Amino acid sequence: MNFLHTMVRVKDLDASLKFYCDLLGLVEVKRKESEKGRFTLVFLAAPGQLEQAQETFSPTIELTYNWDPEEYTGGRNFGHLAFAVDDIYALCDKLQQAGVTINRPPRCGHMAFVKSPDGISIELLQKDQARLPQEPWASMPNTGSW
């Protein structure tokens, strides 16, 4: 058995691509538009897994954009997506500068949580060893839920 992808429904494809690609750094590997089905699928991969994703389309995140407006209600049973990152402080700073709320700051230098434009929890984990705690993250409180 092989893991293929996680599908996330999105309300605004442009806002989602900005978040996942421009801010988190994922790369689009495939796009499918269905006029008949009235949807767009965009498959994204982490840069470190890009070659594998281009060959097998896994592991990827599938953003599903339905052209007809629909209200999505997410359950906490979905959980979250998780990414290992090179520099958790630099990424959290970039996200915060772009207006993304850091729901669980990386106080420990190892883990943070943010949410996508559609409210999907994203866990960011520092690759290798945790960074030394530093401000403003060390004393920043949690915001909302994740």
62 known ligand binder: yes
- Whether 74 shows a pLDDT value over 80: the answer reads no
List the chain domain ranges.
Answer: 5-66, 78-146
Rounded Cα gap, residues 16 and 22, in angstroms: 9
pLDDT attached to residue 73: 72
**33 counts as catalytic:** no
110 known ligand binder: no
Residue 57 confidence class, pLDDT cut points 50, 70, 90: confident
Domain 5-66 superfamily per CATH: 2,3-Dihydroxybiphenyl 1,2-Dioxygenase, domain 1 (3.10.180.10)
33 known ligand binder: no
Rounded Cα gap, residues 17 and 25, in angstroms: 10
Average pLDDT over residues 27-38: 96
Written as one letter, the residue type at 88 is: I
H helix count then E strand count, the chain: 3, 8
Instruction: Say if CB 25 and CB 37 are below 8 A apart.
Output: no
- β 111-115/27-34 pair status: unpaired
Taking the whole predicted model, whether its pTM rises above 0.85 is answered as no
Under CATH, to which class is 78-146 assigned? alpha beta
